[in-house]
Amino acid sequence: MLVETRKAETRGGMSVGQQALDTQTALLPYALAVFTVTLPAYVWAGSHAPNAGWMTATFAIFALAWGFFYAVVNWLKRPDVRADIAKRGQAHLAGGLVWAAAVAQIAAFADGAGPARDPLMMVAVAGAILIIFFASPWLPSLLIVGSAAAAGPLFFLFRHPDSAASANLAWGAIALALALALIVNRILRRQFTLAAERETLIAERAGQMEEARRLAQSKSDLVATLSHEIRNGLTGVAHVLAAAVGANGRSAPSREQLSAALDAANDLIAVLNTTLDSETAEAGRLEVDTHPFDAVALMRDLLLLNRPNAGAKGLELTLHIAPDLNAQDVGATVADAHRVRQILANLLGNALKFTVRGRVEARLELSPSGRLAIEIADTGPGLTADELESAFEPFNRIARTSAGTSGAGLGLSLSRQLARLMGGELLAHSALGVGSCFRLELPYDPAAQPRREQELSVDPAAATPEMHRRLRVLIAEDDALNAAMLRAVVEQLGHQVVHAVDGRRAVELAKVCEFDLLMIDGRMPNMDGPAAIAAIRALDIDIARVPIICVIGGDAAEAKECVDAGADAVLRKPVSVAAVARAVADAIAVERGEQPVRSVA
């Protein structure tokens, strides 16, 4: 029990000391009252002493001690003092030692009081016992102040052999008082520990309830957002498909209708991807692959892709690069290039979406702290300080500026989480009616060399020469629709495809057929992706060294399992032509030994 109590006191920490000092502080006014009540008895006994001058000085010292202690009691009531444990402890010790000195002075006066010596000495002993009692809640005060209070009377009693009987009586009384005070202190400390644990449990319960409430609200917002965005997106696609099959007597859909349906489908995919990333980040499972890369080239590529959108709205889209970043061999940004591209694409897309007239400008420079700063500024409607703060909250869209636009309200919150995961920060400032500026700061290494990135466009004709090699690709996917989509994309890139319905069939085909690339789903019946990859890597034939791309649903744990099993690259669903092309390029690079780092597309 003693060990358990000590552990509990350690867990309680400062809370136990805080409660002990609170209890002792609550007793201090009673101490003042007790010393005030006992003063007449002391005056009556002291009046029989022959030395009137000394008795007057003793009364004066007693009054000064009482006044000092009264000031200490009032000082301890101040709110700023109550929060400072160290100052409170020092004040308690100082006040107690003042009374211990007053008791010692009374004992010294009694020692020379002649016939009144024994009564006055007993008054001093009683004063020491009172001090021990009022110091009992806090152990340091009891041990230090209690011992100091008992020292004076005992010293003067034991110095005269003729007062041995009184000295032994006083010693016994003080020893009993100290023992009882230690027992009281022990009981109080146990109660304080229980109270501290109770407060900790209450705080933990409150935190858990708040976390549960936050998660419930997050799930509610997620369902509400997805239901709205999915309904809108699928409704638009359904109308066009209905027209395409001639439903309701309609003619074939126009090019504009098909374009609108494609935009709706792409918006829906973007919402789902952003929501998945946000939920993964919220659960702490989102991982980033940091490496040196050329952020200037990435920014130029993004602006090139967004110029048609800016031109359609009549907006000027410009890029300004600091001269020190335009120089050759100046270093590289150290972050996850894919995630940085995701952040910048979101910021640039927002700027173009909400800006009606004027321009959108991207600026790259090195900050005074040595980090790369990328700013996206626009001449849009701007935000107030409250709106800007609210814009970074999940599922929160600014009604004043977001009317008629799609989105889940997760882009900025996810971008900030991604920036912090990479050791950077996403900042913003805005002025109502003037525009907004979002600033992404990322780690930068002046001595690093950027890793060669193969960011391929959607058009397979823009692929690198290596990508024009016709590959024999084995796709292992149990879902027929996903398999058809992946097959169409791979064949669009110019490769030959063989389909396996599960992991076991993929392993059987790998044993008897020659393939240049394997694309294996992470979750399949009979044999899942990691098991299939491990089985193929364990084969004692050439297929064991063929590049493998694992196709996952977005879970970081699933990606890690596949990479640990031997996958060379990871491709996340839903797939796009650009993502598949990039994953294939990464896998081919691994085969040639040019890119040993596994990547997530």
- What pLDDT sits at residue 275? 63
Residue 536 in this model has a pLDDT that exceeds 80:
yes
- What pLDDT sits at residue 327? 63
Residue 304 in this model has a pLDDT that exceeds 50:
yes
* Top-confidence residue, 202 or 62: 202
CB atoms within 10 A of CB 498: 14
* Top-confidence residue, 236 or 340: 340
Residue 158 in this model has a pLDDT that exceeds 60:
yes
CA dist., res. 392 & res. 282, Å (int): 14
* Top-confidence residue, 52 or 343: 343
Q: Maximum distance among all alpha carbons in the chain?
A: 127
Calculate mean pLDDT across residues 350-374.
90
- What pLDDT sits at residue 554? 63
With bands split at pLDDT 50, 70 and 90, how would you rate the model's confidence at 533?
Answer: very high
Amino acid at 365: E
Superfamily of the domain at 460-600: Response regulator (3.40.50.2300)
Calculate mean pLDDT across residues 474-499.
87
Q: Where are the alpha helices (DSSP H) in 252-391?
A: 255-282, 295-313, 323-326, 337-354, 385-391
- What pLDDT sits at residue 254? 67
Say which CATH architecture domain 291-445 belongs to: 2-Layer Sandwich (3.30)
- What pLDDT sits at residue 156? 87
Q: What is the pLDDT of residues 497-517, one digit of tens each?
A: 999 988 899 999 999 988 989
Calculate mean pLDDT across residues 3-13.
41
Amino acid at 563: V
Q: Token pair of 273, please?
A: 């991807």
Residue 600 in this model has a pLDDT that exceeds 50:
no
Is 354:311 a contact under the CB 8 Å cutoff?
A: no
- What pLDDT sits at residue 281? 59
Q: Token pair of 135, please?
A: 């110091």
CA-derived radius of gyration, the chain: 40
CA dist., res. 309 & res. 377, Å (int): 16
Least confident of 117-131, 246-260, 366-380, 452-466: 452-466
Is 590:454 a contact under the CB 8 Å cutoff?
A: no
- Alpha carbon 568 to chain centroid distance? 31
Residue 392 in this model has a pLDDT that exceeds 50:
yes
Residue 353 CB-density burial (10 A; 0-12 exposed, 13-18 middle, 19+ buried): middle
CA dist., res. 377 & res. 363, Å (int): 8
Is 49:116 a contact under the CB 8 Å cutoff?
A: yes
DSSP state of 404: T
Mean pLDDT of the chain: 77
CA dist., res. 306 & res. 317, Å (int): 8
Q: Token pair of 516, please?
A: 């240049």
With bands split at pLDDT 50, 70 and 90, how would you rate the model's confidence at 268?
Answer: low
- What pLDDT sits at residue 49? 60
DSSP state of 250: P
CB atoms within 10 A of CB 444: 23
Residue 144 in this model has a pLDDT that exceeds 80:
yes
Calculate mean pLDDT across residues 132-152.
87
Name the residue among 577, 371, 403 with its Cα closest to residue 488: 577
Residue 439 CB-density burial (10 A; 0-12 exposed, 13-18 middle, 19+ buried): middle
Residue 6 in this model has a pLDDT that exceeds 60:
no
- What pLDDT sits at residue 12? 42
With bands split at pLDDT 50, 70 and 90, how would you rate the model's confidence at 15?
Answer: low
Is 20:139 a contact under the CB 8 Å cutoff?
A: yes
CA dist., res. 111 & res. 121, Å (int): 7
- What pLDDT sits at residue 282? 59
Q: Where are the domains of the chain?
A: 2-205, 291-445, 460-600
Least confident of 40-49, 157-166, 212-221: 40-49
DSSP state of 397: -
Residue 470 in this model has a pLDDT that exceeds 50:
yes
- What pLDDT sits at residue 13? 44
* Top-confidence residue, 25 or 270: 25
Residue 305 in this model has a pLDDT that exceeds 50:
yes
Provide the CB-side half-sphere exposure for 593 (13 A, CA): 0
Q: Token pair of 546, please?
A: 């063929």
What is residue 485's three-state secondary structure? helix
- What pLDDT sits at residue 437? 93
Least confident of 148-162, 363-377, 545-559: 545-559
- Per DSSP, what are the bridge partners of residue 373? 365, 441
- What pLDDT sits at residue 194? 84
- What pLDDT sits at residue 463? 43
- Which range scores top for mean pLDDT: 107-116, 178-187, 406-415? 178-187
Q: What percent of the chain is modeled with pLDDT above 90?
A: 12
Residue 375 in this model has a pLDDT that exceeds 90:
yes
With bands split at pLDDT 50, 70 and 90, how would you rate the model's confidence at 28?
Answer: confident
- Alpha carbon 216 to chain centroid distance? 19
Calculate mean pLDDT across residues 459-487.
71
Q: What is the pLDDT of residues 410-464, one digit of tens each?
A: 678 878 888 888 889 999 998 888 899 999 999 998 888 876 544 433 344 344 4
Provide the CB-side half-sphere exposure for 12 (13 A, CA): 23
Is 331:375 a contact under the CB 8 Å cutoff?
A: no
- Which range scores top for mean pLDDT: 4-13, 93-102, 263-272, 362-371? 362-371
Residue 185 in this model has a pLDDT that exceeds 80:
yes
CA dist., res. 551 & res. 576, Å (int): 12
What is residue 593's three-state secondary structure? coil
Is 522:505 a contact under the CB 8 Å cutoff?
A: no
CB atoms within 10 A of CB 332: 22
* Top-confidence residue, 460 or 59: 59
Calculate mean pLDDT across residues 48-58.
64
* Top-confidence residue, 317 or 277: 317
